[in-house]
């Protein structure tokens, strides 16, 4: 379509578009995809964005997605996730307007369907038939679903502490799942050995390949359309290594370059304090992110990302945060759980712990007076809780078996329900 070249963010080397690509072969730098923007403008893309009334799926934005031929699109109607006004924030006149973008409404309950729809379509375009990824769960489920739809074979490498529910879902699609001892960085590094050895496509949703971040950027485009071009002042993201934030930055930058907006929102990375390499660098005012050496568990497993072997991923994320005038902050375990149960019990939404981290960050920034009454704030709920129900089972007791006896139930009502 309008794919023009791939360019290394580090050394500037350029590559012609072709088959599925990874990092720069010259320096190992992260590649970015560039389009023929003049042709994109001539195609009527700007008018389509300005007059958007309905986004059937992310391929609405196909002019700025990296396929050569749209017949290779593999879609499960991902994207077009709703923006939902916070009930907690709306009640109080002194609070800013706060909305959620609920990515759990994607086909497999997380935003990962966006990068995987793009990446699997590209693999299909190349005629390859095996894919691999490393994952705690969400990226693996998305890989499994899109591979099934595309008729590709797939396998995933997971840390042994990954949620068993998510692994069962991945297996149900027919994807092979192998656990290894270690964390997500270990799983990623081993998946690279395997993809090298067997010459299969590695679809890690890190910065390994620029195709996946192109999927992530569709969130920025949707935000533009859903707010009719009047963007939020702040957008909060749960962050592991950060391709979602970097992808969204690129999306907003493209809108800026197309004169569709005049300012990029302030992008806020929220990390768990148990694993916060990017926030640590931000707080210490260091430009280069370093590997996180502590091995601590967090309930927000999806962003438990120490960057072992690829700290430069964190550095590019940190750069984009600063470019946007944003922040990187941490939240603790209680703040994450509190935000999650606020979302479930007061908003009626159902995020996984990781998906709640952005809201934990928003509550903290509001308490610290960063978010003002006149601000418009958007929190990304990146994934749903349905793919890790074990979490909730651990936090509550099993339902009671009772007799079908109204007399006995009156006591239960009085003692356990109405009280």
Tokens of 370: 């960063």
Tokens of 213: 């971040």
Phi, psi (degrees; rounded to nearest 5) at 386: -65, -20
What is the closest distance, in whole angstroms, from the C-beta atom of residue 394 to a second copy in the complex? Answer: 9
Choose which of 135, 209, 272, 387 interacts with a second copy (CB under 8 A). 387
Report how far residue 98's alpha carbon sits from residue 100's, in angstroms, rounded to the nearest whole number: 7
Choose which of 103, 125, 183, 186 interacts with a second copy (CB under 8 A). 186
- Residues within window 222-261 making contact with a second copy, judged by CB under 8 A: none
Do residues 193 and 172 lie in contact, with contact meaning Cβ atoms separated by under 8 Å? no
Q: Which is nearer to a second copy, 40 or 204 (CB)?
A: 204
- Residues within window 323-362 making contact with a second copy, judged by CB under 8 A: 341, 344-350
* Four-CA torsion 359, 364, 365, 368, nearest 10 degrees: 160
Choose which of 1, 41, 258, 386 interacts with a second copy (CB under 8 A). 386
User: How many Cα atoms occupy the beta-carbon half-sphere of 283 within 13 Å?
Assistant: 12
Taking CB under 8 A as the rule, does residue 88 contact a second copy? Answer: no
What is the closest distance, in whole angstroms, from the C-beta atom of residue 25 to a second copy in the complex? Answer: 22
Choose which of 49, 98, 167, 329 interacts with a second copy (CB under 8 A). 167
Work out the angle at residue 55's Cα, subtended by the Cα atoms of residues 148 and 375, and round it to the nearest 5 degrees: 115
- Residues within window 280-299 making contact with a second copy, judged by CB under 8 A: none
* Range 372-402 burial, b when 16+ CB lie within 10 A, else e: eeebbbbbbbbbbbebbeebbeeeeeeeeee
x/- map, 365-384, a second copy, by CB under 8 A: -------------------x
Nearest to 241 by CA among 168, 315, 173: 315
Choose which of 84, 88, 258, 260 interacts with a second copy (CB under 8 A). 84
Task: Name the segment binding a second copy (CB under 8 A); options: 5-13, 267-275, 372-380, 406-414.
Answer: 406-414
Task: Name the segment binding a second copy (CB under 8 A); options: 81-89, 204-212, 266-274, 306-314.
Answer: 81-89
Tell me how long the chain is: 419
Choose which of 16, 230, 367, 402 interacts with a second copy (CB under 8 A). 402
What is the closest distance, in whole angstroms, from the C-beta atom of residue 295 to a second copy in the complex? Answer: 16
Report how far residue 65's alpha carbon sits from residue 72's, in angstroms, rounded to the nearest whole number: 12
x/- map, 136-165, a second copy, by CB under 8 A: ---------xxxxxxx---x--x-x---xx
């Amino acid at each position: 379509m309008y794919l023009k070249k791939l360019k290394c963010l580090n050394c500037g080397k350029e590559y012609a578009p072709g088959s599925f690509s990874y990092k720069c072969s010259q320096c190992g730098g992260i590649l970015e995809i560039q389009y023929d923007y003049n042709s994109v403008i001539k195609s009527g893309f700007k008018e389509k964005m300005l007059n958007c009334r309905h986004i059937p799926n992310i391929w609405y934005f196909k002019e700025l997605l990296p396929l050569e031929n749209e017949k290779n699109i593999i879609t499960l109607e991902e994207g077009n996730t709703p923006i939902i006004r916070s009930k907690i924030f709306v009640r109080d006149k002194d609070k800013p307007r706060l909305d959620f973008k609920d990515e759990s409404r994607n086909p497999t309950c997380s935003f990962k369907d966006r990068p995987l729809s793009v990446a699997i379509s590209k693999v299909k375009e190349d005629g390859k038939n095996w894919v691999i990824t490393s994952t705690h769960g969400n990226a693996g489920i998305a890989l499994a679903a899109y591979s099934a739809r595309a008729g590709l074979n797939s396998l995933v490498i997971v840390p042994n502490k990954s949620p068993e529910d998510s692994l069962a879902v991945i297996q149900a699609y027919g994807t092979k799942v192998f656990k290894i001892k270690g964390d997500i960085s270990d799983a990623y590094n081993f998946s690279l050995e395997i993809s090298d050895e067997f010459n299969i496509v590695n679809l890690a949703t890190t910065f390994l390949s620029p195709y996946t971040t192109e999927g992530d950027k569709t969130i920025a485009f949707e935000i533009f359309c859903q707010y009719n071009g009047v963007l939020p002042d702040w957008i909060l993201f749960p962050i592991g290594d950060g391709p979602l934030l970097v992808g969204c930055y690129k999306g907003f930058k493209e809108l800026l370059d197309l004169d569709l907006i005049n300012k990029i929102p302030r992008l806020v990375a929220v990390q768990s304090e148990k694993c916060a390499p990017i926030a640590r660098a931000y707080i210490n005012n260091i430009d280069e992110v370093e590997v996180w050496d502590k091995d601590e568990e967090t309930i927000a497993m999806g962003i438990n990302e120490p960057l072992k072997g690829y700290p430069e991923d964190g550095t590019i994320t940190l750069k984009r945060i600063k470019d946007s005038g944003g922040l990187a902050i941490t939240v603790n375990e209680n703040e994450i759980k509190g935000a999650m149960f606020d979302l479930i019990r007061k908003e009626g939404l159902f995020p996984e712990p990781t998906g709640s981290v952005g809201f934990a960050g928003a509550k903290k920034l509001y308490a610290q007076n960063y978010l003002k009454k006149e601000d418009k704030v958007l929190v990304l709920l990146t994934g749903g809780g349905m793919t890790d129900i074990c979490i909730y089972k651990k936090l509550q007791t099993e339902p009671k078996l009772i007799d079908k006896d109204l007399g006995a139930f009156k006591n239960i009502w009085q003692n356990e329900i109405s009280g």
